[in-house]
Amino acid sequence: MNSPVLVINCGSSSIKYALIDSDPEAPRLAGLAERLGSSEARLKGKNSAGESFTQALPNADHAEALNSILKRLEGRVPGAVGHRIVHGGEHFTRAALIDENVIAAIESTATLAPLHNPANLAGVAATQKVFPDLPQVAVFDTAFHQTLPPRAYRYALPDALYTKHGIRRYGFHGTSHAYVSQRAGELSHRGAGGWLTAHLGNGCSTSAVWNNQSQDTSMGLTPLEGLVMGTRSGDVDPGLHAHLHRQLGWSVDEIDSVLNQQSGLLGLSGLTNDMREVEDQALNGHPGAKLALEVFCYRIAKSLAALSCALPKLDGVVFTGGIGENSPIVRREVIALLPHFGFSLDKAANEGTTRGKEGRLNSTDHNGPEVWVIPTDEEGRIAMETRHCVESPE
C-alpha cells in the first residue's frame, strides 16, 4: 500500500490525527481537534510547510471535526485509517482489521477501560461515516504486552477473579515500548536482546523486552499501577483504599480521583504535574519539588531493577517520552541509583541530547549495558502496524 495512513487517537472530547506516508522521512500532516462538543471546540495543527493553524469549530462533534481534518489533508487521500485503542484485553495480541466482531470484542473490554474504549469506538464510528470505503485498523496499547508470562501478569488473588472477571495485569504504552525497544535493537550493535524501556511522559511506565517481546511491565489492570506520574500515584499499598474509606469516609470515586488526578508529581510537590517546573523549583530549593523529583527517580530505578529479573541478560536501558527524552537530570539520577548494573553515563552525551534526536549516552568503549535516548513514535508505529495489517490480514 503506497497511500498514506491516517492515524487517529480519539478521546472523549478530542481527536489527535497524523497523516503518515509510507516513506517514514516524508513530512507529516498532524494536529489536534479539542474541546469537542463545547463552544470552544477548535482544530490546531501544522500544514506540510510546517506552518501552524488554528480553526474554531464551535460545538463540533467528532464527525464534524473529522470532516474539518479531512480538509486539512491537502488533497492527500489515505489508504487506511489506524486507530489507537487503549484496551484490547486478552482478545488482541496484534493489530486487527476492524469489522463487527472486532467492535464487539472492544465493547466487551470497555469495563476494563470505561473512560477510553467507548471514546475510541466513537472515533471508529465517526471515521467510518466519513471514510466508508477505507479499511480501518485497531492498534491496541495493550497488545504488545500479551506476551507476558503468567508469573508477570497474574495477581496473587483468587483464581476466579482472573478466569471469570479478567483481573490481571495488561500493561499499556505498548506501541511506545514496542517502538523504542525495536529501535534500540536496530541502533545498537547488540541487536534485539534484553532491553529495559522507560516511557516517561504524563503517564509513565517501564517494560522489560526480550527479543522484541514484552516480558513484564509496570502498569497493570489499569494505567495507575507502577511508577509515579504527573498526577497519578502509581503503586500504593492495596490496603490504602480500605483505610481511606474507613478512616476518612472517602467514597470509591473520591479515592479514585485522588489517586489518578491529585497525586504523583502534583501531589508530592504541591505545585504542578509538569516536570519542567518541578525541576526548576527543585533547583530553587523548594522542598516539595525536591521530594517529588527524588521519589519519581527512585521509583523508576526500583522498577527497572525489578524488571531486570524478567530478562536473561541486560543489553541496555532506553529512555523515552517527554521526560525521558528531555530531562538529563532524571536520566542521571535514575542511572546513579543503579550502580550495580554497570551502566556508565557519559555526562556530555547526557546533557547534550536534544528533543527529537536518538543517541547513546555511554562511551563506545564501555562493555556494560548501554543507555539510550530514543524519541518515541507511537503514531509512526500505529501507521506501520496498520499498513502491515491491511497488506497481510490474518
User: Would you name the residues annotated as active-site residues?
Assistant: 141
Rounded to an integer, what distance in angstroms lies between the CA atom of residue 386 and that of residue 167?
A: 29
Starting at the earlier edge strand, list the strands of the sheet with 96-97.
52-56, 42-46, 29-34, 15-20, 5-10, 80-85, 136-140, 96-97
Total residues interacting with ligand ADP, rule: CB under 6 A: 13
Among 256, 274, 294, 333, indicate the residue that binds ligand ADP (CB under 6 A): 274
Among 276, 313, 347, 357, indicate the residue that binds ligand ADP (CB under 6 A): 276
SS3 260: helix
Give the residue numbers of the binding site for Mg(2+): 9, 378
Min CB(88)–ligand ADP separation in Å: 20
The 10 Å Cβ neighbour count of residue 387 is 22
| CB closer to ligand ADP out of 102 and 297 | 297
Min CB(275)–ligand ADP separation in Å: 4
When asked if residue 323 is in the footprint of ligand ADP (CB under 6 A), the reply is yes
Task: Quote the Cα angle for 94-13-86, to 5°.
Answer: 15
Residue nearest to ligand ADP (CB): 322
Rounded to an integer, what distance in angstroms lies between the CA atom of residue 137 and that of residue 85?
A: 10
Among 275, 307, 337, 371, indicate the residue that binds ligand ADP (CB under 6 A): 275
**Interaction with ligand ADP in 223-262: which residues (CB under 6 A)?**
230
The single-letter code of the amino acid at 27 is P
The single-letter code of the amino acid at 252 is V
Min CB(231)–ligand ADP separation in Å: 10
Among 326, 350, 353, 386, indicate the residue that binds ligand ADP (CB under 6 A): 326
Give the bridge partners for 54, in sequence order.
44
When asked if residue 321 is in the footprint of ligand ADP (CB under 6 A), the reply is yes
Min CB(324)–ligand ADP separation in Å: 8
Give the residue numbers of the binding site for ATP: 16, 199-203, 274-276, 322-326
Using the rule CB under 6 A, give the single segment among 8-16, 27-35, 85-93, 196-204 that binds ligand ADP. Answer: 196-204
Query: The cell 474541546 sits on which residue?
Result: 35
| CB closer to ligand ADP out of 216 and 279 | 279
Using the rule CB under 6 A, give the single segment among 54-62, 79-87, 250-258, 315-323 that binds ligand ADP. Answer: 315-323
C-alpha cell at 264: 504523583
When asked if residue 327 is in the footprint of ligand ADP (CB under 6 A), the reply is yes
Query: What angle in degrees, to the nearest 10, is found between the helix axes of 100-108 and 117-130?
Result: 160
Min CB(325)–ligand ADP separation in Å: 8
When asked if residue 174 is in the footprint of ligand ADP (CB under 6 A), the reply is no
Give the DSSP letter string of 11-38: -SS-EEEEEE-SSTTS--EEEEEESTTS
| CB closer to ligand ADP out of 233 and 326 | 326
| β-pairing verdict for 194-200 and 213-217 | unpaired
Site string for ligand ADP, 60-99 (x = CB under 6 A): ----------------------------------------
Using the rule CB under 6 A, give the single segment among 5-13, 28-36, 201-209, 363-371 that binds ligand ADP. Answer: 201-209
Task: Quote the Cα angle for 64-65-71, to 5°.
Answer: 95
When asked if residue 14 is in the footprint of ligand ADP (CB under 6 A), the reply is no
When asked if residue 279 is in the footprint of ligand ADP (CB under 6 A), the reply is yes
| CB closer to ligand ADP out of 93 and 261 | 261
| β-pairing verdict for 29-34 and 52-56 | unpaired
The DSSP letter of residue 124 is: H
Rounded to an integer, what distance in angstroms lies between the CA atom of residue 272 and that of residue 309?
A: 34
When asked if residue 318 is in the footprint of ligand ADP (CB under 6 A), the reply is no
Query: In the chain, which ranges are continuous DSSP H helix?
Result: 62-71, 100-108, 117-130, 150-153, 159-163, 174-187, 240-248, 252-261, 264-269, 275-283, 287-307, 321-326, 328-336, 347-352, 378-391
Residues near ligand ADP (CB under 6 A):
201-203, 230, 274-276, 279, 321-323, 326-327
